[in-house]
């Protein structure tokens, strides 16, 4: 069961290509949870989250300086190396400076027939929601022009339902693993979430429903490993969580864009669709680039509800300004909650294994002592 998610995740390029040949549909690359994917889905296209790779960014190095988010440099490098040649276009949201700049770079360097910038307000307010709804309408029109077909209200509502179902299922999966961590490891859960950003949603819903049934039926043995909470800026694969597991720990819940921030909060299906999308995507996604500290910290802490956490690991990618500014406040909040904190400033998408391993081992040992 879990292999299906993991196999898809690992072979995501080939899977996307196969989907294209099978359906004749278009694949659009997305960045960040802030892109209203339902619009893409309603047009019959497949949104795929752009991912990095563990290799030197030799092509991107010729166009981008160092001191940048390594994840961004890495996916950029993958595009330059031709790994994403099957993409029909990209959709880029107004989030951080690097992602914003990649809009201009994509038009300048990549040979894509469609690159759209979704302007998202950088502050959360009711007026912001109204403005965002208008931009989502622009986005919808732009996709309609690109596909040559209008997106019906019915199709959009259906896509919202499909996405809401996925969010509900992922939330359920998290509730179960928080309660019974032995049933699903952190890396397995992350594999499920990441594959949701790559797979056709209906397929993912189908597999995930079965997984949850299996989880409910499993024997729910007592968790002996140290239970950890991870708050991270971007971990675009399962390596870091696997490393934690190698060291004898288990991540039972998280606050991160490739995790709970992706699926938290439903789109109001009773509201007008564009407005409902704007409302959910602007107010529910706990992104530090937009959300102010009080709400951000509250969200982070709330992710731990229903779980028995021994310690917190905060992982910020190097040069990730929104998360690095938040770090001192987040750390303070965790310590206020009585949780020991381990902090990593990630150098690159490839794990700095040795140093991280010894730090994590020491941290887990300390937590184990405290458990006894």
Partner 1 sequence: MLTAGIDVGSSTSKAVILQDNKILSYSIIPTSAESADSAQRAFDKALDKTQFISPDDIHWIIATGYGRVVVTFAKETVTELSCHVKGANWLFPSVRTVLDMGGQDCKAIKCDGQGRLLNFTMNDKCAAGTGRFFELIAKVMDLPLSDIGELSLETDDEVRMSSTCAVFGKSEVASLMRQGRNKSDILGGVHTAVSDRIVTLLRRVGITPDLAITGGIARNIGIVKRVEKRVGCRALIPEEPQIIGALGAALFARDRASRN
Partner 2 sequence: MVQSTSAKKSLQTTLEVPVLRRKYYAQTLDDSQKGKKVAWCSNNIPSEILDAMDVTGVFLENYATVIASKRLGSGFCAAGEKVGFSQDVCGYARMLMGYVLAKNDAPEAPYGGLAKPDFLLVSANSCDSRLGWFSAMSSVLNTPLYVYDSPSQPDGASNSLVVAEHIETELRNLISFLEKQTGNKFNPDKVRRRMDISRQTSEIMYEISQLRKAVPSPMGSADMFTAVWPSMYLSGTKECEDFYKRLRAEMEERIARKIGIVPEERFRIMWSGIPFWYDMQLINYVENFGGVVALESFYRVRERRIPSQHDDPIKDMALTAVRQHGYPSGISGSIEDLLEAVEEYKINGVILSYNPSCRMLLISQTELQKALEDRGIPTLGLECDMADERTYSEGQVKTRMDAFVERLLAKNS
Q: In the complex, which residues of this chain contact partner 1 (CB under 8 A)?
A: 54, 56, 58, 61-62, 347-348, 350-355
> 3-state DSSP call for residue 30?
strand
Asked whether position 103 contacts partner 2 by CB under 8 A, the answer is: yes
Q: Which partner from the list partner 2, partner 1, none does 293 bind, CB cut-off 5 to 8 Å by kind? A: partner 2
Report in angstroms how near the CB of residue 129 gets to partner 2 at its nearest: 11
The correct pick among 4, 59, 321, 359 for binding partner 2 (CB under 8 A) is 321
Report in angstroms how near the CB of residue 192 gets to partner 1 at its nearest: 25
What is the residue whose two structure tokens read 């770090």?
327
Interface of this chain with partner 2, residues 58 to 97, rule: CB under 8 A: 62-68, 94, 96-97
Report in angstroms how near the CB of residue 99 gets to partner 2 at its nearest: 10
> 3-state DSSP call for residue 250?
strand
Report in angstroms how near the CB of residue 76 gets to partner 2 at its nearest: 11
- Sign of CA pseudo-dihedral 223, 225, 227, 233: negative
Torsion of CA 313, 318, 320, 324, to 10 degrees: 50
Q: Which strand ranges, in their side-by-side order, compose the sheet holding 114-118? A: 46-49, 27-30, 89-93, 114-118
Q: Which partner from the list partner 2, partner 1, none does 345 bind, CB cut-off 5 to 8 Å by kind? A: partner 2
Q: Which is nearer to partner 2, 125 or 302 (CB)?
A: 125
Q: Taking a C-beta distance cutoff of 8 angstroms, is the pair 259, 193 a contact?
A: yes
Report in angstroms how near the CB of residue 348 gets to partner 1 at its nearest: 7
What distance in Å separates the CA atoms of residue 65 and residue 97, rounded to the nearest whole number? Answer: 14
What distance in Å separates the CA atoms of residue 322 and residue 303, rounded to the nearest whole number? Answer: 19
Asked whether position 331 contacts partner 2 by CB under 8 A, the answer is: yes
Asked whether position 298 contacts partner 2 by CB under 8 A, the answer is: no
Q: Which partner from the list partner 2, partner 1, none does 5 bind, CB cut-off 5 to 8 Å by kind? A: none
Number of other CB atoms surrounding residue 161 within 10 Å: 13
Asked whether position 325 contacts partner 2 by CB under 8 A, the answer is: yes
Report in angstroms how near the CB of residue 59 gets to partner 2 at its nearest: 12
What distance in Å separates the CA atoms of residue 312 and residue 138, rounded to the nearest whole number? Answer: 41
List strand residue ranges (DSSP E) for the chain, in order: 27-30, 46-49, 89-93, 114-118, 226-232, 249-255, 311-317, 341-346
What are the Cα distances from residue 340, in Å, to 226, 272, 331, 355? 12, 44, 9, 19
Interface of this chain with partner 2, residues 110 to 149, rule: CB under 8 A: 117, 119, 121-123, 125, 127-128, 131, 134
Q: Which is nearer to partner 2, 136 or 169 (CB)?
A: 136
Q: Which is nearer to partner 2, 96 or 211 (CB)?
A: 96
What distance in Å separates the CA atoms of residue 317 and residue 135, rounded to the nearest whole number? Answer: 29
Q: Which partner from the list partner 2, partner 1, none does 355 bind, CB cut-off 5 to 8 Å by kind? A: partner 1
Report in angstroms how near the CB of residue 91 gets to partner 2 at its nearest: 13
Which residues bind to partner 2, rule: CB under 8 A?
Answer: 62-68, 94, 96-98, 100-101, 103-105, 107-108, 117, 119, 121-123, 125, 127-128, 131, 134, 288-290, 292-294, 316, 318-322, 324-329, 331, 345
């Amino acid at each position: 069961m879990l292999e299906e998610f993991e196999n898809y995740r690992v072979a995501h390029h080939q899977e996307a290509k196969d989907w294209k040949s099978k359906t004749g549909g278009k694949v659009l690359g997305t960045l960040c949870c802030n892109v209203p994917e339902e619009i893409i889905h309603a047009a019959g296209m497949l949104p795929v989250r752009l991912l990095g790779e563990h290799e030197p960014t030799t092509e991107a190095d010729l166009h981008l300086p160092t001191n940048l988010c390594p994840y961004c440099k890495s996916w950029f490098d993958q595009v330059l190396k031709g790994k994403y040649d099957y993409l029909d276009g990209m959709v880029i949201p107004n989030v951080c400076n690097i992602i914003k700049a990649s809009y201009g770079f994509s038009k300048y360097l990549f040979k894509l027939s469609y690159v759209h910038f979704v302007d998202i307000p950088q502050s959360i307010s009711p007026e912001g929601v109204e403005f965002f709804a208008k931009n989502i309408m622009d986005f919808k029109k732009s996709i309609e022009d690109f596909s040559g077909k209008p997106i019906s209200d019915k199709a959009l509502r259906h896509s919202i339902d499909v996405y809401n179902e996925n969010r509900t299922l992922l939330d359920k999966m998290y509730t179960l693993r928080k309660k019974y961590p032995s049933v699903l490891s952190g890396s397995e859960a992350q594999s499920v979430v990441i594959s949701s950003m790559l797979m056709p949603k209906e397929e993912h819903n189908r597999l995930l429903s079965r997984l949850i049934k299996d989880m409910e039926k499993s024997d729910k043995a007592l968790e002996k490993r140290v239970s950890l909470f991870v708050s991270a800026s971007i971990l675009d694969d399962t390596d870091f969580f696997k490393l934690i597991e190698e060291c004898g720990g288990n991540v039972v819940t998280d606050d991160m864009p490739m995790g709970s921030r992706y699926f938290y909060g439903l789109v109001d299906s009773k509201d007008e669709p564009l407005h409902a999308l704007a409302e959910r995507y602007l107010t529910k996604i706990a992104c530090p680039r937009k959300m102010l500290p009080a709400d951000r910290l509250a969200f982070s802490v709330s992710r731990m509800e229903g779980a028995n956490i021994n310690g917190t690991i905060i992982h910020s990618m190097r040069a990730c300004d929104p998360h690095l500014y938040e770090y001192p406040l987040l750390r303070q909040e965790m310590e206020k909650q009585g949780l020991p904190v381990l902090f990593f400033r990630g150098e690159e998408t490839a794990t700095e294994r040795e140093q991280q391993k010894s730090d994590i081992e020491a941290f887990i040992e300390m937590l184990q002592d405290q458990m006894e």
